[in-house]
A = this chain, B = another copy of it.
Amino acid sequence: MQTSSKGVTLWLTGLSGAGKSTIANRLSEELIRHHLRTEILDGDAVRMNLSKGLGFSREDRDTNIARIAYVCSLLTRNGVIVISAAISPYAEARAKARETIGEFVEIFVKCSLDKTIKRDVKGLYKKALDGKIENFTGVSDPYEEPSRPEIVVNTEDETVDESVRKIFAYMAQRGYIDSALELSA
């Protein structure tokens, strides 16, 4: 049985490979373990289900983010804790998402470009650096760092659990979750 909570969108933003999906999955596992309604809107899943045909121009990225924000707003106002895990490189699109959604927590998943290039989990940076992918954030496309995010998690220095604890502490402080909620071992 899932319990009702105050809905909120946790908006993760950061470079490809910074750790957004890893943190999103860990957050989601814990929230589900505590019987809270939660949904992850992962960049790739959303592109398949809502934005097939859109590319990576600024206009297409903005449209993609606006669609994610619309779905986040519907879920959030129905008591779901939504975790968005799209790169969302443009500050203006994130600001619009904040406005659309209302209950919005911007989480900067911070990792240096050097480190994400070294990790290169999906092999995309190599392709982008070889010129085989266009409009690749951080390589051939800009990433605008959040100027005033509610939370910064630094995935070069922190473990996933440390990042998740930081996010839970903020959520508890703001009344989105019970302060007694603890991470599983």
Question: Using an 8 Å CB-CB cutoff, how does the interface string of A41-82 with B read, 1 for contact, 0 for none?
Answer: 000000001101000000000010011001100110011100
Contact string against B for A residues 12-47, beta-carbon threshold 8 Å, 1 for contact and 0 otherwise: 000000000000000000000000010100000000
Shortest Cβ distance from residue A37 to the other chain B in the assembled complex, whole angstroms: 5
Q: Specify which chain B residues have a CB less than 8 angstroms from the CB of A75 in the assembled complex.
A: 74-75, 78
A66 to B52, CA, bound (A): 11
The 8 Å CB contact of A39, one of B49, B50, B78, is: B78
Query: Cβ of A2 < 8 Å from any Cβ of B?
Result: yes
The docked-state distance in angstroms from the alpha carbon of A4 to that of B71 is 20
* Chain B contacts for A67, CB-based, 8 A: 49-50
Q: How far in angstroms is the closest Cβ of chain B from A65?
A: 12
Contacts of A2 in B (CB 8 A): 4, 78-79
By a CB distance below 8 angstroms, the chain B residues around A4 are 2, 4
Which residues on the B side are within 8 Å of A74 (C-beta)?
39, 71, 74-75
Question: What residues of chain B lie closer than 8 Å to A63, measured between beta carbons?
Answer: 52
Which residues of A does B touch, CB under 8 Å? Answer: 2, 4, 37, 39, 49-50, 52, 63, 66-67, 70-71, 74-75, 78-80
Nearest 5 pairs of A and B residues by beta carbon? A49-B70, A78-B80, A37-B78, A4-B4, A50-B67
Q: List 8 A-B contacts (CB under 8 A).
A: A2-B4, A2-B78, A37-B78, A49-B70, A71-B74, A75-B78, A78-B80, A79-B79
